[in-house]
Amino acid sequence: RLAHRELLADAPPDKRKILEPVKPVITRWNSFYSCFERAVQLQPAINAYASHYIKRIRDEDTYAESRRNKLPHAPHWMRSDGLTTHDWAVVTEYIDALKPLKAATKRLEGRGNSGRFGCIAEVIPVFEYILNYYKSRVLAYEAVEYNAHDEAPEDHLAINMRAAWAKASEYYSKLDLSPAYYAATILHPFRGLWAQYNTSQPAVRRLKVLSNDIDDAIDSIIDPTTASNSDEAADDEYTQWKLCERRVEKGSEYANNPIKYWLLMRDRYPQLSKLALDVLSIPASSCECERMFSELGDLLEPRRRGIQPRLLAAIQCVRRWRTAGLGDDKLNNRNSITDDEIEALYGVSAWDVGDSSNTNSDSETQL
């Protein structure tokens, strides 16, 4: 509030908006990045807050010393000089170091368009992006003299960059334990390992400069160098697909949605498309599953504790269809749908007909 009062009357609205600090939580993804980012936005307010309490403790200490009393208890930072310009520069450095991790988790958590973000085919390219970024940051600190002068960078930055690079490499090596990651990357119509086998559309490799954008990093991984056309191609669907199908163009509908691509290819490659749909539908992280659990928890209100599992699954399925744009267009354009409308459309109440004994016997029969 003190910093807000000091703002000029003609300050833009975005500067006059009151923002709250973000508390870092060790169990929350990217919480330290969000904390540092908000702190930079609130830099004048934080400096004013620190100066206010530092001055107050300094006055209390002076009074206590004059009376030869014990100094009042206070946190260590209240007896410091506050955050200097160098301290804020270090915070900014850590924001830059954590930004790729924030972009990677957002990319893989599945909040994007259906069939695009959160797909397991994104995991390897995103890891390549993170590894290349931290490698470049580590190399940039190799020639730094940390004791050259007072304004030289502190060595903890380089130490933490090397630790981040080592940890990312450790997790990247664990991808070898599951072939699903490589299968998803190979079967993606646009990503990495696919293009090198394609012989129907020659292309010249263009060098790209790695930037902080994940899409640019993924493009730099893709190798469009074509292999020689072999006359002894195998008869399996995978080899036919590699040799016969043209590479999907960047930005096209199928490049962004491999699920839709393989649905189109079902008649031409029935077995391969089935494998591709099974692999590419695997979520890249548990975020989507956790969100679904939360949605189901919200659905089970106190009056709905008796909903049977099949009915609950049907309601959630309808919700997901509507989110994906499937179903009745008139209902999809509305903000909500009532249980009566779901019943009228799908007749889900009849799915759980029968007493519990019949249900148990059916379950035992299935087991």
**Number of structural domains in the chain:** 2
On whether residue 217 sits in a domain, the answer given is no
| Cα(250)–Cα(113) distance, integer angstroms | 16
Q: Are residues 254 and 324 in the same domain?
A: no
Q: Are residues 177 and 120 in the same domain?
A: yes
Q: Which two tokens stand for residue 267?
A: 């008649």
On whether residue 132 sits in a domain, the answer given is yes
| Cα(367)–Cα(363) distance, integer angstroms | 6
Q: What is the pLDDT of residues 72-109, one digit of tens each?
A: 998 988 999 889 988 999 999 999 999 999 999 888 88
8-state DSSP, 246? P
- If residue 293 lies in a helix (H) or strand (E), which one and from where to where? helix 287-299
Q: Are residues 121 and 183 in the same domain?
A: yes
Q: What is the pLDDT of residues 200-251, one digit of tens each?
A: 333 333 434 444 466 666 565 544 444 444 444 446 888 888 888 777 776 6
Residue 167 has pLDDT above 90, yes or no: yes
Residue 55 has pLDDT above 90, yes or no: yes
The per-residue b/e assignment along 30-64, b for 16 or more CB within 10 angstroms, e otherwise, is bebbbbbbebebbeebbebbbeeebeebeeebeee
Helix/strand/coil percentages in the chain, nearest 5: 60, 0, 40
Contact 189, 273 (CB under 8 A): no
On whether residue 153 sits in a domain, the answer given is yes
Average pLDDT taken over every residue of the chain: 76
pLDDT of residue 303: 62
Q: Are residues 255 and 332 in the same domain?
A: no
Domain that holds residue 320: 288-346
Residue 273 has pLDDT above 80, yes or no: yes
Strands (E), the chain: none
Collect all residues with Cβ–Cβ distance below 8 Å to 363 and sequence separation of at least 6.
Answer: none
Q: Are residues 185 and 274 in the same domain?
A: yes
Mean pLDDT of 116-132: 84
On whether residue 99 sits in a domain, the answer given is no
Collect all residues with Cβ–Cβ distance below 8 Å to 316 and sequence separation of at least 6.
Answer: 292, 295, 296, 299
